A and B are shown apart, each in its own frame.
Chain A
Amino acid sequence: DAGITQSPRHKVTETGTPVTLRCHQTENHRYMYWYRQDPGHGLRLIHYSYGVKDTDKGEVSDGYSVSRSKTEDFLLTLESATSSQTSVYFCAISASGGTGELFFGEGSRLTVL
């Protein structure tokens, strides 16, 4: 199994509060991703990173920011959480030069009240 750890695994917060989700990998893979999973939408890409300090937006990036200061860590921040950001968040990694296959973490369930 790919070494991916997400924290926290579960979080309940209130509207308007900041939230940071962390993804940590031990595989030294170049690419890291944040997806959210919602009923009826499948998995949608929020942001991804192609190297330290190199990030780009996905299809649902509004309201989210990311940072990658080390190869192994990719942080997802909700500056001011809203109820529409209640979701399950998955981090994924992939190696450069590969087939595009993603390895996913176990997910972080976020509830915004």
Chain B
Amino acid sequence: DQQVKQNSPSLSVQEGRISILNCDYTNSMFDYFLWYKKYPAEGPTFLISISSIKDKNEDGRFTVFLNKSAKHLSLHIVPSQPGDSAVYFCAASLWEGAQKLVFGQGTRLTINP
């Protein structure tokens, strides 16, 4: 049973445009959410996180939105750059600082020049 789902395996966006990656979760007990970015032949790296007490968190070109009632979060990248081409994983935990993360399947983002 996949508790965290990324239903789009891939996404292609033109350079300079907005990239929107989506993530849904089924466990209403999840309270803290993270996004990781992964390049080929490298380990995932932390990108941005959000606690359930917020509905938005920004860090430069990256913004994460959380809709708890819909059990949905999204990552917005504006403007998209070629270096953003990677696989993006969303992850969830029961509270901030909880040591076990549940990951989605990942979305491969390709930024086209």
Question: Is B105 within 8 A of A41, CB to CB?
Answer: yes
Count residues of A near B (Cβ-Cβ below 8 Å): 27
Question: Is A102 within 8 A of B46, CB to CB?
Answer: yes
Q: Which residues in window 72-109 of B have CB below 8 A to A? A: 89, 91, 93, 96-106
A106 to B105, CA, bound (A): 18
A-B contact count (CB 8 A): 61
A103 to B99, CA, bound (A): 12
Question: Is A100 within 8 A of B93, CB to CB?
Answer: yes
* B19 on the A face (CB < 8 A): no
A100 to B46, CA, bound (A): 10
A8 to B46, CA, bound (A): 24
Q: Which residue of A lies closest to B44 (CB)?
A: A104
* B49 on the A face (CB < 8 A): yes
Count residues of B near A (Cβ-Cβ below 8 Å): 26
Q: Which residues in window 64-113 of A have CB below 8 A to B? A: 90, 92, 94, 97-107
Cβ-closest 3 pairs across A and B: A104-B43, A43-B103, A42-B105
Q: Told that A42-B106, A43-B91, A94-B99 touch, could you supply 19 new A-B pairs with CB distance under 8 A?
A: A31-B99, A35-B103, A42-B6, A42-B103, A42-B104, A42-B105, A45-B100, A59-B102, A90-B43, A92-B43, A97-B97, A99-B96, A100-B34, A100-B96, A102-B101, A104-B44, A105-B43, A106-B43, A107-B42
